[in-house]
Structure 1
Amino acid sequence: MSLPPEPQPHPQPVVGTRVVHRRYVPYAHAHYAGNLVDGAYSLGLFGDVATELCIVTDGDEGLFASYSDVQFKAPVRAGDVLEVTAELVRAGTRSRLMEFAVRVVARGAATAERPGRAEVIEPPLLATTATGTVVVPG
């Protein structure tokens, strides 16, 4: 029986490293008139991309410490397809400063004749931005 390999030290995180997720917003997440989704939905997605970015840069999931400058610029609706990004903008000894964005890349456009109709949005609609700090083990 062989032992698993020893974990290797992770290289220094590279500023500019970026992670992108795409997600369809299910109608079960609509909370308001017009199929609007609450702003916390975007923040949850930021947590997902931050986790992956920490894994890529540090080999650890990290732990969110704070958000700053959260801005809700356009509505997110059920039926949207979102592109969620995280980019590493500063790396301290244990802290990682990241910039986040949610863009709507497609949106439902149902009609009575075509209830499943949807459209690609070009250019994508910037819906939410934020800056956040994540910490990783030293």
Structure 2
Amino acid sequence: MSNDHLVGTRVVHRRYVPYGHAHYAGNLVDGAYSLGLFGDVATELCIHTDGDEGLFASYSDVQFKAPVRAGDVLEVSAELVRAGTRSRLMEFAVHVVARGAATDDAPGAATVLDPPLLATTATGTVVVP
């Protein structure tokens, strides 16, 4: 039986980046943070399509296009682009949808980004039983 009917399935998560994840000047967060979020959306996507969490096999074409900072609100997506017998090829993206804009006078200030800022993309392969 073909798995073509699964292609196009998409999962989206939103996540606030806590200040405890900042590692660098300017409250920058390391690129591995985005890759960890890709694992989360890939897991949910496999649950929807296969009833199993799956096992991440590889990433390819990872691109860090813009910084992710503590205080950002991220939208993380995974879309199934090819479904083999056991392998699932997915495309991932992280968009910054809101960014902290704190000042001494407004320590909790933030702004919604319109349009959102594309921060990270990748392609990955997950294996399911």
Dislocated runs of 4+, deviation >3 Å:
none
Q: TM-score, normalised by structure 2?
A: 0.96
Q: Which residue of 2 aligns with 1:15?
A: 7
CA deviation digits over 1:19-57, x for unaligned, max 9? 000000000000000000000000000000000000000
> CA offset at residue 18 of structure 1?
0.2
Superposition RMSD in Å = 0.2
- Bigger radius of gyration among the two: 1
Unaligned runs of 5+ in 2: 1-5
1:42-53 maps to which residues of 2 (within 5 A)? 42-53=34-45
Q: SS state of the match for residue 103, structure 1?
A: strand
The 3-state SS of whatever aligns with 2:107 is: coil
Query: Is 2:124 the counterpart of 1:117?
Result: no
Q: Distance in 1 between matches of 2:106 and 2:20?
A: 20
- Separation (CA, whole Å) in 2 of partners of 1:122 and 1:68: 29
- Percentage of pairs with the same residue: 90
Which runs of 5 or more residues in structure 1 are unaligned? 1-13
Q: Please give the secondary structure, in 2, of the residue aligned with 1:78.
A: coil
Distance 2:115 2:38 in 1: 21
User: How far apart in 2 are the matches of 1:60 and 1:108?
Assistant: 36
Deviation at 1:112, TM superposition (A): 1.1
Distance 1:37 1:112 in 2: 22
Deviation at 1:92, TM superposition (A): 0.1
Q: Quick one: distance in 2 between partners of 1:30 and 1:95?
A: 34
Deviations 1:71-108 (A, max 9, x none): 00000000000000000000000000000000000000
Provide the rounded CA distance (Å) in 1 between the counterparts of 2:77 and 2:90.
Answer: 10
